[in-house]
Chains A and B, each alone.
Chain A
Amino acid sequence: MSISVWQVLWVLLMKYLNLIIIFLASFYLYGGELMSPIDSGFDIKSILPLLNKGELGFIENSGARPKQVSLFTLIDATPDEVWNVLTDYEHYTEIFPSILECKIAKQEGDTAFVDYKLDAVLYSIKYRLRHNHTPKKSIDISVVSGDLKSGEYRYDIYPFENRTVLIYSIKASATDTSFLLRKIVRKQPTMDEAINISTAIITLNNIKDALKKRQKGK
């Protein structure tokens, strides 16, 4: 019985298929979990006096790309009020103008699976995110499925007198969000950090605006 070259190749392909899948997947997955900057030794008390004046960005270059960027802001609202906005998925379209649709697909204990439709410049994308809640303290967000290939996000809430320090961390590549951004960033990969810092500031400003509206409405 003779064995053709194709048969040999097929056997080899099957044998190493799992390795090939892992190799390809490694392009889409970032190693390690997103950490709160506080957990990595950042002393929040030291930055409180200046958060009255503006946001503080924190970038730790671990050598990996994309880098995790975190933005600290001080909000004139209680941690409960901030938590209520962060978990009010039904009203995300009002809180974040770039979100076109948002609904909870399923809830498992403190984990919510949320479906999004996002305005991604010139066209929209759909994806599902997993939101792991540690009530009133933090939300860990990761990509489950859809048009987003990867990305990790995290909110951390810290009470400060009657106010709240909110930290938003991002570890994502803009190439995963929009065709136009992908075109720009592929041509210019060094734009990733600048885009993530800007995205974090816009997100925090959206949350602050939503809180102000709710406080006025009371």
Chain B
Amino acid sequence: MGFKIGLISDTHGQFDKRLKTLFKDVSHIICAGDIGGPEIIRQLSEIAPTFAVCGNTDTDLRDILPEYLFYKTDGLRIFVSHIIEKNHPNWTELSKLIYSLKPDLVVYGHTHNYVASSSNNIIFVNPGSAGANRYPVSRTCGLIEKNNDSLLVQIFDLGADIQLKYWQNFIIRNNQ
């Protein structure tokens, strides 16, 4: 049976009320850091159970949120970290961890640019920034839908109207 998961990151204290409609059918929401306060987690939790990690600007959430999250649900193994960057000081350890945990999906944020790609049978998704943006890129969030061995990744533009901006269908290779 298929299911949907909402993906959001870099809200920086801004909660878009339209997420209630966009995420209305999701079983969970994953929040990849730079949240901007516990109130955002509470508002997201009103929609669906929300699992969040700490971002580099979440100094006030450091005592209540983990750095990394590994989540197993319905045959899907998901790893969440705010930063996944090759030039980051943690990259060596982080890449070792990711390739040893063998998740099907890695969710991250930080760059404010949406990404959906695949490498070594692992699907990497950055839903972009859903908060007030410091950069000249549009506000976005993501939605994934698992059906058997396929994972549909959709990125939505949170502009004046919510519009599907990008989508890609991946095959889950079952890394276990």
Contact = CB atoms under 8 A, between A and B. Distances in A.
Interface of A: 43, 45-47, 49-50, 52-61, 71, 188, 190-194, 197-198, 201-202, 205
Interface residues on B, range: 20 to 34
B50 interface: yes
B101 interface: yes
Nearest to B94: A50
A197 B48 contact: no
A195 to B, nearest CB: 9
Main secondary structure of the interface of B (DSSP, over half): mixed
A54 B96 contact: no
B65 A53 contact: no
Contact of A61 (B41, B47, B63, B72): B72
Q: Which 4 A-B pairs have the closest CB atoms?
A: A54-B67, A46-B100, A61-B73, A57-B66
A64 B50 CA distance: 16
A192 to B, nearest CB: 7
Given A49-B97, A50-B94, A194-B45, A59 B69 contact: yes
A52 B92 CA distance: 13
Contacts of A50: 67-68, 90, 93-94, 97
Contact of B66 (A43, A54, A193): A54
A198 B62 CA distance: 10
Interface string B93-121: 11011001100000000000000000000
14 contacts: A46-B97, A46-B100, A50-B90, A53-B90, A56-B69, A57-B68, A59-B71, A59-B72, A188-B46, A194-B41, A197-B51, A197-B64, A201-B65, A202-B64
